[in-house]
């Protein structure tokens, strides 16, 4: 018995930017879009070896990919990530806001203001910053945005993960509340 392969023809030739695309869920998403014929921008910050290896893997399989370095916890870098992607591919059809980390387990009442800000910037505010930069391109192309979150958004996080859980709860809420057209 041969397993059937999922084919989504509408994704062929589309340009998709995946933040946090070099490892884990983001890398799997990048592979999945590339397998459908999408041109993929693999966003990364601290894992250049994995990002470049993934781009090489996609290219070796006949796909088109680009590694795009930038820290989504910085609004200026968010705009630069989108600009580099659109400069290379000439368009942007989809955005996967996947970047995020817990940045360590710290009890919420013991967390420094800097830690709280870093977790919120990376996991919550980055969603707005990258989407804001991508919006003109996505609107032009009739594109899409997918935001990834965490089960911590539903269960409140455990053992020093409450700030992360709250940031991911923000992502869940803003995703539900954003108008769809």
**Catalytic machinery residues:** 164
d(C-alpha 77, C-alpha 66), whole Å:
16
Q: How far apart are the first and last CA of the chain?
A: 41
Distances (CA, A) of 50 to 36, 47, 116, 136: 21, 6, 28, 30
Q: What is the CA radius of gyration of the chain?
A: 17
Burial 71-92 (b: 16+ CB within 10 A, else e): bbbbbebbbbbbebbbeebeeb
Distance CA 180, CA 68 (A): 28
């Amino acid at each position: 018995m041969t397993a059937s392969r999922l084919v989504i023809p509408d994704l062929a030739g589309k340009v998709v930017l995946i933040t946090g695309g070099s490892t884990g869920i983001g890398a799997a998403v990048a592979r999945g879009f590339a397998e459908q014929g999408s041109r993929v921008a693999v966003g990364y910050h601290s894992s250049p070896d994995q990002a470049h290896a993934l781009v090489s893997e996609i290219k070796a399989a006949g796909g088109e990919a680009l590694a795009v370095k930038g820290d989504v916890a910085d609004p200026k870098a968010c705009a630069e990530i989108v600009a580099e992607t659109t400069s290379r591919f000439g368009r942007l059809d989809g955005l996967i806001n996947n970047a995020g980390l817990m940045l360590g387990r710290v009890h919420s009442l013991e967390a420094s203001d800097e830690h709280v800000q870093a977790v919120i910037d990376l996991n919550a505010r980055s969603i707005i910053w990258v989407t804001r930069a991508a919006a003109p391109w996505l609107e032009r192309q009739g594109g899409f945005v997918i935001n990834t979150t965490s089960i911590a958004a539903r269960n409140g996080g455990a053992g020093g993960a409450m700030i992360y859980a709250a940031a991911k709860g923000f992502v869940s809420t803003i995703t539900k509340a954003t108008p769809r057209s």
